[in-house]
Structure 1
Amino acid sequence: MPRCERLPGPGLAKVQNPPLLCRRRVELVTCSTGRLRALFDGADVLSEGSTRVEEGALVYYGSTSLLVALPPDAPPDPTLDRALALDPHLRLRALRVAQREATARAGGPLGPMHAEIRCGLARRAATTSFALTVDVTARVLLTTPKTARPSGA
């Protein structure tokens, strides 16, 4: 009969006396929606992409990059990068810009869109910017995909 192998690590132990109180400190960081919107409206936007016929349907593949220049009074805090990356309003705004750009390049309305967002700080010599890249895949909603011409990049 084969012997059961034990996983490495501590074995079972009985809890003696759990602590009566547990303390946890949490730091919450949020972005100012108004200032973020103003910065985002002045962002540099660069898009590329094209459509391909796949299984009788027209599918758009593309990428949109946004470069949001941060103001000089932005704190040189390491949490700034993470706070901006996790801000749902910023991500949604980037997604909407990417959808608008993809619709314009695809030559027709898009169906459900699959998007991946990457973001992080981009330090230049004089300024610090926040860079977002949105990769988009979506089916183009055309009634006759065979007559549609794929758009150029």
Structure 2
Amino acid sequence: MNISARNIFRGTIASIVSGAVNAEVTIALASGASIVSIITIGAVERLGLKEGMAASAIVKASTVILGTNLHDAKMSARNILCGTVTRVIDGPVNCEVDLEIGGGDVLSAVITHGSAEKLGFAEGAHACAIFKASSVIIGVD
């Protein structure tokens, strides 16, 4: 199946913490970074998810928030991946910003032109991508 989401990160399921309705699934990437997803117990069972198996974390570019200088920031979003800006496609309303986050993985975010301008995103700049665990879809082959 092909999908329209730009961000597809392949890794290994590091942990599954089950609750009454939802589960927290952590996928370890080759770079050493992790992505956390919150999905239903039904989805865990339907996909046959187990620790140690290969899986993908899928994140729509429009759900990603970008920031800079987040070293001491405290927030409820579980996923914060920092890296280097590798490309900025500037448009009059929105911009696409790509970050190299390690291990060859590139994360794309679509943000407003005004935000990109205010934060001064340019190739080589440091930035961090932030997204909620509930924004992460899990896929398996």
* TM-score normalised by structure 2 residue count: 0.22
* TM-score normalised by structure 1 residue count: 0.21
Q: Which has the larger radius of gyration?
A: 1
Question: Greater helix percent: which structure?
Answer: 1
